[in-house]
Structure 1
């Protein structure tokens, strides 16, 4: 049987639903989801495998940070992750949301189209608006900007996903299978645990605070009783941020821990004990060394091809 395998990059502004779409396509929770910008800081690879009457297909789907302007080491890290994904992908999905194409969207289109990569435009969140009249002008504008294939979808509800799946499948090139089919992401469990904790912090904390938060694993082991013991540190930049994360009487930290344990238990498939600590790491978002330490490796998918 012949085989198809290729990298599919998912790109767009913050909050256009990239991570929700990646999770939908993979069929597993690969990326954490939040309405707040900077939820995704690292390019994350998700895998999907299928057999068709014609051939086997391996989808290597890259969730990427949102395209946005900004300074500091965190933004520099995110930009490198996006550019690395662009250079590595065989097919690019560019996400947009109604009612129109913004100037920021146009900058993204120019960046991607100039790389001579096959591009599919995806108009997401069509479930949010009952008025579908903006879709046709958006499709016309995207066509004018060089995107010939445009698919309206709702990553949340699944509307239009079958059409998008067919388009993606057709665009994946012939190639050798790169994974054995037993995993759905290249990220280690420790990274996924950090992300699940960070997701709960995003969910429960004030609007500005999560951008200065990172999570690292101090210890991780599974005993003979089948229970995994995890110790993790939440890094913040200021003393008042630490107080907010802990909460009055420790209630916020307890809530985050309880919610995180539930998600981690689902990920691991076994019980876990989770200890959370909060540490002031002043200025970590402006330190390249700390960003590399806290946020993990930068993407280099060319070494995988």
Structure 2
């Protein structure tokens, strides 16, 4: 029996025996599995009228002491944007379910489709990036001031075993060694971001499945590891080929990107100068993070007894690590 199946029955007992700050007819309570990620398992809890998301946290990608509280505080701060889920309840005690617990708004809608929802996503980013951080309590957020240097540290850590593994071909090892060398040699572009500082709240996981496109409004969900940093962090990841191909199997054209930027700037209520230039400067460092993660994940899949949980993911990882794919991806920048 999977962890999700075990939790399903225990969640009902938890809700029945705790004041969870939501409206539910507990006599008609239904708990259903919704979705599972690497570090969270999501369920819906409903009574036929009201419906919520019950999120169970099983780990942290950002090594914070209290992952579920970090996410709860971020979502509370972001509520004023009206394009993120409302949160109602958090329990980080782990006294009853052994995991951090978060209850939030259930949002109706569909995942983003790049071909038709690009402008809606642009407006969501503009609303979040327009939040006035000077008049908000952001003391509990991680702040990233050296986004290029931080990506180098991530890349080195992720590539540590890959670069010495006997099962990895010489061409790929050479590529990543040269990529790291180039990244180190050009990391002074962090000076540009610090001299032209513009900090906003970034989600850091802006793939198509983390958008909910509703009939009237669209939302960005899954705020597991937000940071305060340059807006190029989220925009670069959202527009990058490694993101649009991953689940959307799509590559944005220059005209689509141009239209995205125009819509974004038209909907901002703060000044973010030279956003296209910021994205251009940061893009190769985003690719360093994405490709290094693929290298790390590929090696993990080769371990004896390791099950491939998602064959589509494994196929995409191998595609991204193809030397021709990587060289074409970076041709413009490197």
Greater percentage in helix: 2
TM-score by length of 2: 0.24
- Structure with the higher strand share, 1 or 2: 1
